[in-house]
Amino acid sequence: MRGREGEQAAAGGTDWDSLAPWWLETFSNGADIEYELQILPLASAALAGCRRVLDVGTGEGQLARRIARTEPLPELVVGVDPAAAQVRNAAAQQGGPVYLRGRGEALCFCDGAFDGVVCCLVIEHADDGDLFLAELARLVAPAGRLVLVVNHPALQGPGSGFVDDHVLGERYWRVGPYLTEQAVVEEVDQGVPIRFSHRPISRYVNPLCRAGLVLTSMEEPAPPLQFLADSIDLELELAMPRLLLLGFERPAAGRPMRE
Ligand SMILES: C[S@@+](CC[C@H](N)C(=O)[O-])C[C@H]1O[C@@H](n2cnc3c(N)ncnc32)[C@H](O)[C@@H]1O
């Protein structure tokens, strides 16, 4: 989803209610190759076998719907999103999940209510990452999983991207100031400003480990070939993952947190 149309220092949040029609048209129901070929299959596979799944920042619910029809079928899939228009769009689609309004920073469920929690391309839009992560961790049951999908912080942060240097005749991938936590507004599409809060990978992993979760998997997939159909340097872009998937588990009761 992340684009490189232009960046500026952030001033205020993103109005996801106003963006709901754009999101629906541009990213859902097969409109976006990256979602179809990579994001939905990867994230739903990471939760396969979970019985009660919560999708935090569900948008119009495409991941929740995919999870609801992934074998073995879960008993319950809940999608939450703070934007009323996103929740309305989600509820209007076919499929099994139930939807509620809610923010990742304060969710109305009991501790350990889900054995699968997923948060896909959402936490970058929250300013208080620590609060958000603590809330996600709180909801994961013993032996349950948390799957976090983010724009790859090491390679896709502010100031990162292709540089086509016509003077030196070089093309390379510039990495922005990785350790600098900052929020920027990016115009990801014409007239579509979205605020992103950048934080390094340790700022995701360490709070979750301190909350008793264990990092069990990490995926950095090459972008799908079809997504790069217009690339000016296919070899280079194929070597630059856009996404990072982090899989965590809460040890079952009685098992030590760290072995
Ligand atoms: C890029 S969309 C991703 C939607 C969905 N997860 C997907 O992958 O299709 C980001 C979503 O995060 C939601 N969002 C923004 N801030 C949030 C917060 N603090 N807590 C939960 N969701 C939030 C927005 O309303 C929007 O629907």
Give the residue whose CA is nearest to atom 8 of ligand 1.
120
Quick one: pLDDT band at residue 258, thresholds 50, 70, 90?
low
Whole-number Å distance, alpha carbon 253 to ligand 1 midpoint, is 31
31 in helix, strand or coil? coil
pTM over 0.85: yes
Residue with tokens 């005749």: 169
**Whose Cα sits closest to atom 4 in ligand 1?**
59
Q: What is the pLDDT of residue 3?
A: 53
85 CB less than 6 Å from ligand 1?
A: no
* Residue 219 amino acid letter: E
Q: Which of 38, 125, 139, 188 to mutate to test the pocket of ligand 1 (most atoms within 8 A of CB)?
A: 125
Q: Which of 147, 126, 104, 249 is nearest to 199 (CA)?
A: 126
Indicate the DSSP class of residue 106. B
- Give the pLDDT confidence score for residue 166 in this predicted structure: 84
| Cα of 254 from ligand 1 centre, angstroms | 35
| More confidently predicted of 162 and 27 | 27
Q: Which domains does the chain have, with CATH numbers?
A: 7-154+183-231+242-249 (3.40.50.150)
The pLDDT of residue 5 is 46
Look at residues 59, 93, 52 and name the one whose alpha carbon lies nearest to residue 76: 52
Predicted confidence (pLDDT) per residue in 14-64, tens digit: 999 999 999 999 999 999 999 999 999 999 999 999 999 999 999 999 999
Verify whether ligand 1 is closer than 6 Å to residue 221 (CB atom): no
The pLDDT assigned to 11 comes to: 47
Q: What's the CA gap between 222 and 228, in Å, rounded?
A: 10
- For residues 85 and 147, the answer to whether their CB atoms sit within 8 Å is no
Distance of CA 235 to the CA centre of its chain: 25
Judged by average pLDDT, the poorest of 101-105, 140-144, 210-214, 251-255 is 251-255
* Closest CA relative to residue 99, chosen from 110, 91, 107: 91
